């Protein structure tokens, strides 16, 4: 038996009355678990097994699956379900986390980031663009793909009159090293400053920071390319919907 906090990454109906869950847990990383009878209206598990739910679970390890024996919802993020835009962003960040986490591999920083970001997304005054860019850039750090934003990834210099950003090489390229990646994208001083700021600030402290649509678009483009190269899973349904909003 294991007692742990967890966030529901996926929840789908299974058999007649069960739910099959993918849970990102604090103690044992990402797991698949079955919640027996949780489709029944009177099930004590029902409220804690909905998508995005942050719950405390009591789990029993079976041969191939865990079984949820108890679950107490701590935060159900109900208001996310009432707003299609926020719901879509929540689905997007959950998919990012799902794509990099593994069973048995804990990641406390990523767990905390996901929990905080879902919580922040429920606040109607949140600057969504800022929060999502901040999430993306910190997510990359916490899953081992931190983009280098302070020195050239090739020669190490911190001084250059202009910079490019190479998704392939993992960050900045100075003017002299341009030839190592002809596809590196331009990055202005303003975009770079914003990226550095979002990389180190607590996500709670940036939730009200307004950034211009122009800067947001620039940074989004760089991060999208970066995630595509390193996570290789940018084909998210969520993102396609977001782009149409």
Binding residues (CB under 5 A) for Zn ion: these are: 152, 154-155, 174, 177
Q: Could you tell me the smallest distance in angstroms from the CB atom of residue 193 to Zn ion?
A: 20
Phi–psi pair at 212, nearest 5 degrees: -70, 155
Q: Is 30:95 a contact under the CB 8 Å cutoff?
A: no
Q: Which candidate, 243, 241, 237, 240, places its Cα nearest to that of 10?
A: 237
Rounded CA separation 16/167 (Å):
46
| CB-based burial, 178-198: b 16+ in 10 Å, e otherwise | eebbeebbebeeebbebbebb
If the CB atoms of residues 158 and 244 are measured against Zn ion, the closer one turns out to be 158
If the CB atoms of residues 2 and 155 are measured against Zn ion, the closer one turns out to be 155
If the CB atoms of residues 117 and 154 are measured against Zn ion, the closer one turns out to be 154
Q: Could you tell me the smallest distance in angstroms from the CB atom of residue 156 to Zn ion?
A: 7
If the CB atoms of residues 33 and 174 are measured against Zn ion, the closer one turns out to be 174
Q: Could you tell me the smallest distance in angstroms from the CB atom of residue 45 to Zn ion?
A: 55
Q: Could you tell me the smallest distance in angstroms from the CB atom of residue 223 to Zn ion?
A: 22
């Amino acid at each position: 038996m294991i007692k742990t906090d967890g966030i529901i990454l996926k929840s789908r109906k299974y058999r007649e009355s069960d739910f099959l869950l993918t849970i990102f847990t604090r103690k044992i990383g990402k797991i698949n678990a079955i919640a027996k009878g949780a489709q029944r209206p009177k099930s004590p598990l029902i409220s804690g097994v909905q998508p995005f739910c942050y719950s405390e679970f009591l789990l029993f390890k079976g041969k191939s699956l865990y079984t949820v024996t108890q679950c107490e919802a701590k935060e159900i993020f109900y208001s996310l379900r009432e707003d299609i835009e926020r719901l879509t962003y929540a689905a997007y960040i959950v998919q990012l986390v799902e794509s990099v986490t593994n069973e048995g591999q804990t990641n406390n920083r990523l767990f905390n980031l996901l929990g905080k970001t879902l919580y922040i997304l429920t606040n109607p005054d949140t600057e969504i663009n800022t929060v999502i860019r901040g999430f993306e850039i910190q997510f990359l750090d916490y899953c081992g793909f931190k983009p280098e934003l302070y020195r050239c990834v090739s020669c190490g210099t911190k001084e250059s009159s202009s910079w490019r950003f190479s998704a392939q090489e993992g960050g900045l390229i100075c003017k002299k090293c341009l030839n190592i990646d002809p596809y590196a994208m331009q990055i202005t001083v303003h975009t770079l400053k914003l990226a550095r700021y979002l990389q180190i600030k607590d996500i709670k402290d940036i939730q009200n920071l307004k950034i211009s649509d122009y800067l947001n678009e620039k940074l989004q483009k760089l991060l999208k390319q970066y995630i595509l190269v390193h996570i290789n899973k940018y084909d998210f349904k969520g993102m396609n919907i977001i782009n149409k909003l």
